[in-house]
Amino acid sequence: MASLKEDASGRAPSNRRYRSSTKINSEFKWKIDPTVIGAFEIMTEPDLDVRAPMTLHKINGCKEELKRCLGIWDRLELRLDFIKAFESIPPESTCCGMCVEQDETVKKNIPLLNKGWVKSTNETLLKESFRLSLFVWKWDNISGKSSTVIPMIRFHRLEESQGQ
């Protein structure tokens, strides 16, 4: 019979709950979908700012596909459309509306935008080229802020996404 310190295979169990989660070791989360070719990270530090310059994240081997998507993104001025859509949804707040809850705003707005703005944009403007999705990239930290929540605009290749 295995002791409490070992699992059924005889190995000692990992101490995952004591291991800190960071931006680096949680990076796989936003690119787990095989159709993702890149993403824009939206500024959240010190405060959520959808108008600030976005950080571009690339998937190795998808440079040309992403470059084509970014050209269409710029030509159709989708960044401005995204900003208008995001800002049209009121933020989550506490203390009778005095304090904005940034993380809760992101967690609430991203699903709403996926059902509205993203779906409409994919069906009307991008139906032949690529598709977008919004993603909440989250990780927990042991020290400092208890969790970090970052909204991302992901770019997907179209061919493999047809069956999904």
6 is a domain residue: no
Say what the pLDDT of residue 88 is.
95
Say what the pLDDT of residue 62 is.
92
Global pTM reads 0.78
32 is a domain residue: yes
**What's the total number of domains in the chain?**
1
2 is a domain residue: no
47 is a domain residue: yes
Say what the pLDDT of residue 164 is.
42
Say what the pLDDT of residue 162 is.
45
14 is a domain residue: no
Which residues form the domain of 41?
21-161
Say what the pLDDT of residue 102 is.
83
CA–CA distances in Å: residue 79 to residues 50, 70, 85, 106, 118 = 9, 10, 10, 17, 12
61 is a domain residue: yes
The CB-side HSE value for 71 (13 A sphere, CA atoms) comes to: 7
10 is a domain residue: no
Say what the pLDDT of residue 116 is.
95
Say what the pLDDT of residue 50 is.
93
136 is a domain residue: yes
Q: Determine the straight-line distance between the first and last CA of the chain, rounded to whole angstroms.
A: 45
CA 130 to chain centre: 17
Q: What are phi and psi of 76, to 5 degrees?
A: -85, 0
Joined tokens for residue 136: 């909440």
Say what the pLDDT of residue 71 is.
95
Mean pLDDT, 10 residues at a time, over the chain (164 residues)?
48 51 71 92 90 94 94 96 94 70 88 96 90 89 72 87 43
